[in-house]
């Protein structure tokens, strides 16, 4: 399926796969090709994973004549920048595959070296422009490429014959990494170990309940670092709970709202970027109070909706959801550091630990905050805060 026409001799070829059942994945599988087409202005053609090189060559020749070079996207949750895509194409020639650098990659050699993090599409574009300017056409040869995305010549696809696209990666063709070509991939946000949450566990904790364990990254880390602590979890997604199962004493396959949990039982309930996903966080915290033992703790992390990247979007009249991150499509409620603190105290939790994470600012972020503070005639620290880490004790 062709997304739009272009006079360019380049197109982007995306394998069309069925997404996992989660809202975030379904959104991401549609969102990423659309944004890539918007940013690069290259036509995007979607193909079946079963398509052979011969079939793909025929489709391209019949639908988009004049194409010579192709950017192949095998991971559906991939977003290409304008500068990154152009660098890939500029370096591509026959018998040569060219891979980008990523925000996260299966190959350590393809990790992007960025001086600051980015948070939305505009800040991604800022980072991509910086990297392309800083690294230019610099590249190096490698023995393997991350299969998420790479560029090749159309003649190399034709030469595959009845073999699938992925076989190009295992060929003896020359492989290069373009150091200035930034590509973003959304990986499953439920697989991380979250070591920062481990530091929130109070001394004397023996029994923990994690709400929304995902693939069990935190449980795995806890078992490794603090094997004396017993951990259970609540996880509504069966495919995630199956992956997490080895690291937990018990997993309640249910939403937290519907889970039948024992009262006055847990020393700690962990909410790692979960509170914002509740339809009724007020009711959720009341239930958490009931399942905590007297004097028990609630700990976790919550993103800050007053971060400068979100405020800038709002001032410009935008509010673009993303598969994951500050404006994840799965977020139902939004908090600022001030409103979160008030919310916890109003629901009878006494804050024992509080940390506001302030990652490095991009040049655009620095300028934006300076303008806002000039207008306000005071410092606005919440604009710099990406996320809050907290631990609060049950009162009463």
Domains defined along the chain, listed by start: 10-185 (3.90.550), 195-394 (3.40.50.150)
Tens digits of residue pLDDT in 135-185:
999 999 999 999 999 999 999 999 999 999 999 999 989 999 999 999 999
Alpha-carbon separation of residue 109 from 93, 101, 147, 304 (angstroms): 21, 8, 13, 32
Res 55: pLDDT? 94
- Angle (deg, nearest 10), helices 281-291 and 337-346: 50
Structure tokens of 149?
């995305």
Give pLDDT, residue 189: 62
pLDDT bin (cut points 50, 70, 90) of residue 134 is: very high
pLDDT score at 191: 65
Confidence band of 8 (pLDDT split at 50, 70, 90): low
Burial track 185-205 (b if 16+ CB lie within 10 A, e otherwise): bbbbbbebbbeebeebbeeeb
Residues 49-58 have pLDDT tens digits of: 999 999 999 9
Q: Does residue 257 register a pLDDT over 80?
A: yes
pLDDT, tens digit, 9 for 90 and up, residues 278-311: 999 999 999 999 999 999 999 999 999 999 999 9
What band does 188 get if pLDDT is binned at 50, 70 and 90? low
* pTM, entire model: 0.91
Instruction: Supply the pLDDT for residue 175.
Output: 96
pLDDT at 312: 97
Beta strands in the chain (DSSP E): 10-15, 44-47, 69-73, 78-80, 96-102, 139-141, 149-153, 174-185, 207-211, 230-234, 250-252, 266-272, 292-303, 349-357, 387-394
Instruction: Name the band, by pLDDT with cuts 50, 70 and 90, for residue 65.
Output: confident
Distance, in Å, from the CA atom of 370 to the CA atom of 241, rounded to the nearest integer, reads: 45
Residues 153/120, Cβ–Cβ less than 8 Å:
no
Per-residue pLDDT reduced to its tens digit, 74-89: 999 999 999 999 999 9
């Amino acid at each position: 399926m062709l997304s739009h026409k272009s006079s360019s001799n380049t197109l982007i070829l995306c394998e069309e796969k069925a997404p996992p059942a989660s809202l975030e994945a379904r959104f991401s599988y549609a969102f990423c090709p659309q944004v890539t087409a918007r940013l690069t202005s290259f036509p995007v053609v979607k193909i079946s994973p079963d398509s052979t090189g011969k079939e793909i060559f025929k489709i391209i020749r019949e639908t988009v004549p004049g194409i010579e070079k192709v950017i192949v996207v095998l991971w559906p949750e991939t977003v290409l920048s304008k500068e990154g895509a152009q660098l890939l194409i500029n370096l591509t020639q026959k018998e040569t595959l060219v891979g980008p650098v990523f925000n996260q990659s299966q190959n350590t050699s393809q990790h992007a070296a960025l001086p600051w993090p980015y948070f939305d599409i505009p800040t991604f574009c800022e980072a991509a422009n910086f990297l392309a300017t800083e690294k230019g056409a610099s590249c190096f040869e490698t023995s393997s490429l991350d299969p998420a995305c790479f560029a090749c010549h159309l003649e190399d696809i034709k030469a595959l014959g009845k073999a699938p696209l992925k076989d190009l990666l295992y060929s003896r063709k020359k492989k290069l990494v373009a150091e200035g070509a930034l590509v973003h991939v959304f990986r499953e946000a439920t697989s991380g170990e979250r070591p920062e949450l481990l530091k929130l566990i109070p001394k004397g904790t023996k029994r923990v309940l994690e709400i929304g364990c995902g693939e069990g990254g935190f449980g795995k880390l806890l078992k490794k670092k603090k094997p004396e602590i017993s951990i259970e979890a609540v996880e509504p997604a069966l495919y995630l709970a199956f992956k997490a199962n080895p690291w937990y004493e018990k997993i309640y396959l249910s939403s937290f709202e519907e889970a039948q949990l024992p009262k006055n039982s847990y020393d700690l309930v962990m909410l790692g970027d979960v509170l914002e996903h509740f339809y009724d966080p007020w009711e959720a915290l009341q239930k958490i109070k009931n399942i905590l033992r007297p004097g028990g703790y609630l700990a976790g992390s919550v993103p800050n909706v007053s971060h400068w990247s979100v405020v800038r979007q709002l001032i410009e009249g935008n509010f673009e959801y993303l598969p994951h991150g500050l404006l994840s499509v799965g977020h139902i409620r939004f908090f600022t550091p001030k409103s979160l603190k008030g919310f916890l105290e109003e629901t009878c939790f006494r804050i024992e630990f509080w940390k506001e994470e302030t990652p490095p600012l991009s040049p655009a972020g620095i300028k934006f905050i300076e303008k806002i503070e000039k207008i306000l005639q005071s410092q606005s620290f919440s604009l710099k805060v990406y996320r809050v880490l907290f631990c609060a004790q049950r009162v009463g």
